[in-house]
Amino acid sequence: MDNEEYLEVVNHKGEVIGHFPRSVVHGNPSLMHKVVHVLVFDKNGNLLLQKRSMKKDVAPGKWDTSVGGHVGIGEDLIISSKREMEEELGLNGVETEYLYTYIHRNSYETELVTTFRCVCDGNISFNKDEIDEVKFWSIEDIKAAIGKQILSENFENEFLNYIQHIEIQ
């Protein structure tokens, strides 16, 4: 039996054009798939980052977005974001706010990213199979780390989108 995760492949409008195994989608940037990110802030405006497990196929050992994951087939984006928050950080019942959607493309994959934010000072119980460590970072510390191979390339792109978003607010 095939236990591989299947992903919705979408066009530039976000319309589903097919379902393919993760192994086919990852490594083929011509197949765009949907992901959700959640930026988790504390009450002081610091942003929680996760240090990705060395077992991950994308950006192992790099600091990354607070929460990020694939959208399940037919899954609502808000439900997907809440599922990922619980799976990765053990957070549930936390209200999120939609921020923006963008396309992230690199030589490995193309993602239609929908980003949410939340404020949480509660107990974080992260998934030790996927995450080595979590830590709140100041915006200044994140800016200082950009381009130094500390942060994932995907998160650097997310952070630049976030900075642009808050500047036009």
How many angstroms separate the CA atoms of 41 and 50, rounded?
Answer: 12
The domain that contains 136 carries what CATH number?
Answer: 3.90.79.10
**33-50 residue pLDDT tens:** 999 999 999 999 999 999
Percent helix, percent strand, percent coil in the chain, to nearest 5: 25, 35, 40
- Residue 108 tokens, joined: 């490995």
Which residues in the chain show pLDDT less than 70? 1-2, 169
Give the model's pLDDT for residue 15: 95
| Structural domain boundaries enclosing 130 | 6-167
99 within some domain = yes
Give the model's pLDDT for residue 26: 92
Residue 48 host element (H or E)? strand 47-52
Give the model's pLDDT for residue 123: 82
**12-33 residue pLDDT tens:** 999 999 999 999 999 999 999 9
DSSP string, 61-122: T-EE-SEEEEPPTT--HHHHHHHHHHHHH---S---EEEEEEEEE-SS-EEEEEEEEEE--S
How many angstroms separate the CA atoms of 123 and 91, rounded?
Answer: 8
In the DSSP assignment, the letter for residue 127 is -
Looking at the structure of the chain, the number of domains it has is 1
CB 77 within 8 A of CB 99: no
> Quick one: CA torsion of 127, 58, 37, 53, rounded to 10 degrees?
20
- Residue 143 tokens, joined: 């800016």
Give the model's pLDDT for residue 1: 44
1 within some domain = no
